[in-house]
A and B are shown apart, each in its own frame.
Chain A
Amino acid sequence: MTIIDDIESRTAPKADKGRVIYRHRIATRITHWTWAIALFFLLFSGLQIFNAHPELYIGKQSGFEFENSVLSMRAMQANDGTVSGYTTIFGRSFDTTGVFGMSGPADNPSYRGFPAWATLPSYQDLSTGRVIHFFFAWFFVAAFLIWFASSLISGHLKRDILPSMADIKALPQSIADHLRFRFHHDGRYNGLQKLAYAGVLLVVFPLIIATGLTMSPGMNAAWPWLLDIFGGRQTARTIHFLCMALLVAFFLIHIFMVVAAGPLNEMRSIITGWYRTDEKKNEEHSA
């Protein structure tokens, strides 16, 4: 059973096709697309906000007269007068000219953390970045609360997202299958899928929301325990940034897997809810 079989099955006569099942409920589909749109704007406006002070720290405050920086993207001038963009991680500097610290046309470079193509707006404008970020943050959080409540009530959370003992035991097999690009399209999530979705939905999403709230001086008065949980406002800002990086990594793998698993069938299921399984083929192979 290779990917080629998959393609052939789609072009084969209708009688050979797998069973079509109702895979994604309406709440899953609406929240999925709300997140897709909101996260797009949150990412690029967030990088705009980061660029206003392209440095991350560990602790309650930013060390200007002491050292607690963990990441910075700055333009620096060498002794011979040439300026380069540097990314410094835990004290180790890397020349990242053209992408981080300094980017844009060679004859008129901009000194900025992330380049123009990665920020909204493309030019430096912190206030507009904040306007975009805090608008879409409301939709992101609302979709999360709706998804969590409906998934808890419908059983989606327990049935499809939280890995069962059987999923954990089957993990080695699931990893081996993924490494061979051998996918079972039975409409159920395998152990790795469940772990990925549970990690994003139940760990990274709550974490990125909570660390976002921790950066608000108003929320610090209302819920000071947020600062205690994350070890200070600047650590919360760093965790917020790391969550962003994890979500970007998840997005890339997510898109790759959709393409590898059959983009038309996957897109149909997340838009209409209906998904074609390959159950028949499995039977043939096992026979």
Chain B
Amino acid sequence: MSRFIINRRKFLTLAGVAASTVPLSGCDVFDGFLSSQSPVRDFLASANGLTYRAHRALIGADTLAPEFAASEIRQGQRPNGSTDPTDADYLALKDTAFANYRLTVGGLVEKPVSLSLDELRNMPARTQITRHDCVEGWSCIAKWTGVQLSRVLDEAKVKAEARFVVFHCYDSMNLGLQGAVPYYESIDLIDARHPQTILAYGNNDKPLPVANGAPLRVRIERQLGYKMAKYIKGIELVSTLAPFGSGKGGFWEDLGYEWYGGI
């Protein structure tokens, strides 16, 4: 009694529904709303503030990122971004194996300090095997050795009005018409004082390679890779991020990436 019949009207309806999906699949109709200057994009990006506050409410200030067994280190740490800076002051340091390197800590501190690599290595060290997550989507597990940023901050005595730590870097990224733009990054004081936030000078039991940020890079284990500035020149304690770059708190942030890189 049952026959598979699709009459003309049903066929036309079906064809109509199929045809209506064609303009939808041309995703470029939305492009105008999504350019970097668009208020629609700015509005959508406001959800990132909600994510940041939700994470701060949900994740304890000192809750650790997962650490892994030595057997999970199955490859070298994959480098990304700048891997061999050609900036003159960096090349001069590299030529002398970073013997003349000094990390400066300034801004809103009681006692600005400047530390050599040996001085940093002589401070209590922390070693952790953690997973590096790139914003692109890949992950890589490696061992990192360094001094906790909180110890360096305590030497410099952070003033009460400081809200952010800014990392100034030796490497520049080429942005075409804008020319070379120096890399910089920033984090809040919760992540700055997190036990796993270290200024790393060692990777997989060797001195930090140039490709991974020699002589000093920061590890911020609860955020994505672009937050973890390499080739650190100096640390500045600030109350606002407005004076730096385009004021969004980092090189990639100025190009549209979210400041909070915990997702």
Contacts and interface: CB of A to CB of B under 8 A. Distances in A.
A234 B58 contact: no
Given A60-B141, A61-B139, A121-B27, A218 B258 contact: no
Given A3-B6, A65-B75, A120-B27, A131 B13 contact: no
A218 B139 contact: no
A122 B64 contact: no
A121 B134 contact: no
B55 interface: yes
Given A135-B47, A234-B139, A219 B263 contact: yes
Contact of B59 (A1, A60, A221, A260): A221
Given A1-B2, A2-B5, A52 B135 contact: yes
A117 B78 contact: no
A126 interface: yes
Interface in B159-210: none
B224 interface: yes
Contact of B74 (A55, A63, A181, A219): A63
Given A117-B26, A121-B27, A218-B223, A62 B13 contact: no
B30 A118 contact: no
Q: Interface residue tally of chain B, by bracket?
A: 35 or more
B124 interface: no
Interface in A103-144: 116-123, 125-128, 130-132, 134-135, 138
A218 B7 contact: no
B209 to A, nearest CB: 15
A66 interface: yes
B47 A138 contact: yes
A26 interface: no
23 contacts: A2-B3, A53-B134, A53-B137, A60-B141, A61-B72, A61-B131, A61-B141, A63-B75, A64-B138, A65-B76, A116-B27, A117-B28, A120-B34, A130-B135, A131-B44, A135-B47, A215-B263, A218-B262, A219-B59, A220-B65, A221-B64, A222-B59, A237-B137
